[in-house]
Amino acid sequence: MTEWWRGAVIYQVYPRSFADSNGDGIGDLQGLQARLDYIAALGVDAIWISPFFSSPMRDFGYDVADFCAVDPMFGRLADFDAVVRRAHELGLKVVIDQVYSHSSDQHPWFADSRSSRDSARADWYVWADAKPDGSPPNNWQSLFLGPAWTWDARRGQYYLHNFLREQPDLNLLNPAVQDALLEVARFWLERGVDGFRVDAVSHFTHDAELRDNPSRDGGRRTRPVDFQTLRYNADRPETLAFLERLRAVLDAYPQRFALGEIGGPDSAERSLAPYLGRERLHTAYSFLFLHADAPTPAFVRAAVEEWERLHAGGWPTWVFSNHDAPRAVSRWGGSGPPDHYAKLLNALLLALRGSVCLYQGEELGLPQAHVPFERLRDPEAIANWPQTLGRDGARTPIPWHAERVHGGFSEVEPWLPLDPAHLAMAVDRQLGVAGSVLETTRQLLGLRRRHPALVHGTIRFDDVAEPLLAFSRRLPGDEVYCVFNLGAAPRRALFPAGQPWQVIAARGAAHTGADGLALEPYGFALAVPAP
């Protein structure tokens, strides 16, 4: 049986910023349902809905207070069911986040755990005594700045939180905690979801001895955690047994899959192979591009070939942007017109071997939005301001109608301001307009559906001079040659010798005889053997 997720394009919906149906300035599930036809018309295979669970929203849904309830700001459980039904009617699979590393400090489990060292769930979270001088149990640092330990006077102990202090870490070394989380997975599978994006897999388990992390040499250091190699509070072998239990649950439901987020400071420097395979996660998305300074031809080739080498037989998932990273158009900052650069990036992303996560707004070419300091909501962005672009600028509302108030996202002021510069890129300004980023992306997605080589084919890179990047995607009976000019000056590219070629998609490309192309800055072309 064909595995639907292998080679699928998964459109990530950040529901707070997608579509507001009830006029409160926050996107919701009914708004998403109303826009599912738009997503289906893009030609993607699935949607991934970022957290919509009951939450105090200290980390905008990744601090879950009830894993099996919809937060009222997003609607009701019946609204989620309606999204699943409509998506399936449109041929879209539905993927949702599962947050197993931690919960909100408002979760009833944590309230019970902190109440007493003898409570029913006393060891459902990671608790430890202070050192003799009152300091934390070890040197572990939070990804959100500062120590990964917070003192709790009620327990008279420290609790672990690899993220915000309001996100205490669940103790997945405890089989009872694993059992409870697997029941959560079954709850959503029974409601018809087709897969999970599994959050923060790297931090599922910890060293039971609570040993200090060693220091980390080199690399970018913007946070205390960047000074450490996360040997004892991340990427622990104890995680693998839980993943095997999760896979067994998924395998009991036909055609379900799990996409892992396996991140952290060292994520671009190690193999993900232990997490993947027939008994663990189906795939994981690579952080290589999310961490990259620029997508040079050498870097792109090395990233793909490194995956093939480190994860023999594993299936990659590629992502250029998401809700946790500044938008790629701005992060990489091509010097040409932004829409040309956006088309190039989308063409490259959709031509790589693997599955793809396409973040909402990438199909429009949205750059990182400007959010004034006084309007920032993301705790990481506030703490690091102005040193980083932050995450808020990638989470602003989608502009649906250029002439409507707040871009047609809402009738009231949105939770994050819509950047006026985005209005010129609104959906209604691009839909049906030949050559727009939106229509170019739809064209590329259509080609991916019509050419199985782009979905399942091998990839072989050609040795061409930078800033050109060229590779072939091949299956028996189908071949697509892909060439990109990743530079700011025109370049000439040659097709592989031995046969004529027919261009099936291009931007800024012109034939220069039977064997070559003239590529404008940030131009690209996809071609097939001529009939």
Positions marked active-site:
199, 261
Q: At what angle do helices 175-190 and 238-251 cross, to 10 degrees?
A: 30
Q: Which of 408, 377, 413 is nearest to 395 (CA)?
A: 377
Q: Which of 39, 36, 45, 42 is nearest to 7 (CA)?
A: 45
Phi, psi of 102 (to 5 degrees): -155, 170
Element (H, E) at 38: helix 36-42
What are the structure tokens assigned to 482, written together? 């892909």
Instruction: 371-377: list long-range contacts, CB under 8 Å, 24+ apart.
Output: 371/396, 371/416, 371/417, 371/419, 372/417, 375/416, 375/417, 377/60, 377/415, 377/416
What are the structure tokens assigned to 461, written together? 């890179």
Buried b vs exposed e over 233-256: b needs ≥16 C-beta within 10 Å?
Answer: bbbbeebbebbeebbebbeeeeeb
Q: Which of 200, 202, 210 is nearest to 126 (CA)?
A: 210
Element (H, E) at 361: none
Residue 348 · residue 354 · CB < 8 Å: no
Q: How many CA atoms lie within 13 A of 416 on its CB side?
A: 27
Strands 157-160, 127-128: parallel, antiparallel or unpaired by DSSP? antiparallel
Distance CA(166)–CA(155), nearest Å, equals 16
What are the structure tokens assigned to 463, written together? 């040795």
Q: Give the distance, in angstroms, between the CA of residue 159 and the centroid of all CA atoms in the same chain.
A: 28
Q: Give the distance, in angstroms, between the CA of residue 147 and the centroid of all CA atoms in the same chain.
A: 26
Q: First CA to last CA across the chain, in angstroms? A: 32
Q: Which of 448, 409, 421 is nearest to 339 (CA)?
A: 421
Q: At what angle do helices 437-450 and 338-351 cross, to 10 degrees?
A: 10
